[in-house]
């Protein structure tokens, strides 16, 4: 029979083995305990702002009374711009609404380098994509929205590329990070309206390497007016890409 000292040693070994195999993690948002494999607790995951009722084409959220709209919702509920004419992309998948805490998570990721937010955000996008493409053909490759080399040098990373790599790994899709480049660097678009954004980005991308896929998805963190995504679509189509989808973590409210 083991002695008292031996039992104490065995109990210590047992306790430490439990902690090593069941480490306690903290939620990135509320700091409450969560499973080590998760970055957010169950409650915070449930509270992430859903997109809600939005345009069937570009996923721009509607601002009028959802209760009234849901009663008259058809298969082709389109925003004003999508009603006016054809968009450059074929499909658009957005995981969340650009509101708190998602807005803060994306801002901290982009401007402060808090890349720990990448995992929960891309997992949410992946689950949204799996539901969306349940009975539809998937894109064959992912193209992150490129960043101009000067801006990339200052920031140190391209958030769209990091998001695309995580999503590509989760879905087993190739990521073409070097196929498209940003041609020039202009002022930040945050303060510009929709018309100015389209003017600023015009001719802003260049194909660097051939893209051997008919169907691709453009990946970015936030979709605001869609000007950047559409200009990239025009560039890709001019080089033979036939079908282009847009994948983003979040969509902002309607932009003027």
CATH number, domain with residue 215 = 3.40.50
In a domain, 166, yes or no: yes
Mean pLDDT in residue range 87-114: 96
In a domain, 194, yes or no: yes
Residues in CB range of 97: below 8 A, 6 or more apart: 49, 50, 51, 52, 61, 250, 251, 253
Q: Tell me: do 141 and 27 sit in the same domain.
A: no
Q: Tell me: do 210 and 88 sit in the same domain.
A: yes
Question: Which pLDDT belongs to residue 34?
Answer: 87
Mean pLDDT in residue range 75-80: 81
Give per-residue pLDDT as tens, 41-66: 999 999 999 998 899 999 999 876 44
Q: Tell me: do 130 and 118 sit in the same domain.
A: yes
Mean pLDDT in residue range 91-109: 97
Q: Tell me: do 149 and 188 sit in the same domain.
A: yes
Q: Tell me: do 241 and 197 sit in the same domain.
A: yes
Q: Tell me: do 25 and 63 sit in the same domain.
A: no
Q: What is the C-alpha to C-alpha distance for residues 221 and 191, in angstroms, rounded to an integer? A: 17
How does the average pLDDT of the chain come out, rounded? 84
Give backbone dihedrals phi and psi of 25, rounded to 5 degrees, phi first.
Answer: -110, 160
Q: Tell me: do 29 and 153 sit in the same domain.
A: no
Q: Using pLDDT thresholds of 50, 70 and 90, give the confidence band for residue 107.
A: very high
Q: What is the C-alpha to C-alpha distance for residues 239 and 256, in angstroms, rounded to an integer? A: 31
Q: Is the pLDDT of residue 191 over 80?
A: no
In a domain, 96, yes or no: yes
Q: Tell me: do 21 and 31 sit in the same domain.
A: yes
Q: Is the pLDDT of residue 3 over 80?
A: no
- Residue ranges making up the domain that contains 42: 1-47
Q: Tell me: do 17 and 107 sit in the same domain.
A: no
Q: Tell me: do 123 and 33 sit in the same domain.
A: no
Q: Tell me: do 34 and 59 sit in the same domain.
A: no
Q: Tell me: do 94 and 193 sit in the same domain.
A: yes
Task: Yes or no: say if 219 and 143 are a contact pair by the CB < 8 Å rule.
Answer: yes
Q: Is the pLDDT of residue 239 over 50?
A: yes
Mean pLDDT in residue range 133-156: 94
With a pLDDT cut of 70, the percent of the chain lying above it is 77
Count of the separate structural domains present in the chain: 2
Q: What is the C-alpha to C-alpha distance for residues 73 and 15, in angstroms, rounded to an integer? A: 57
Q: Is the pLDDT of residue 90 over 50?
A: yes
């Amino acid at each position: 029979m083991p002695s008292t000292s031996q039992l104490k040693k065995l109990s210590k070994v047992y306790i430490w083995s439990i902690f090593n195999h069941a480490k306690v993690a903290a939620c990135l948002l509320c700091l409450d305990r969560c499973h080590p494999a998760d970055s957010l607790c169950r409650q915070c995951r449930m509270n992430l702002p859903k997109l809600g009722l939005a345009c069937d084409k570009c996923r721009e959220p509607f601002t009028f009374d959802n209760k009234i709209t849901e009663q008259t919702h058809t298969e082709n509920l389109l925003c004003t711009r999508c009603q006016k004419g054809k968009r450059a992309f074929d499909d658009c998948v957005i995981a969340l609404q650009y509101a708190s805490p998602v807005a803060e998570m994306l801002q901290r990721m982009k401007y402060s380098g808090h890349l720990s937010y990448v995992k929960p955000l891309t997992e949410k996008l992946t689950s949204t994509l799996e539901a969306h493409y349940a009975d539809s053909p998937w894109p064959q490759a992912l193209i992150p929205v490129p960043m101009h080399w000067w801006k990339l040098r200052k920031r140190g990373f391209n958030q769209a590329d990091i998001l695309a790599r995580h999503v590509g790994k989760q879905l087993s899709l190739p990521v073409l990070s070097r196929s498209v480049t940003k041609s020039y660097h202009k002022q930040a678009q945050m303060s510009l309206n929709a018309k100015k954004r389209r003017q600023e980005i015009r001719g802003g991308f260049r194909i660097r390497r051939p893209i051997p896929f008919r169907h691709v998805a453009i990946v970015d963190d936030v979709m605001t007016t869609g000007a950047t995504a559409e200009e990239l679509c025009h560039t890709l189509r001019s080089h033979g890409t036939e079908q282009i989808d847009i994948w983003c973590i979040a969509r902002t409210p309607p932009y003027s």
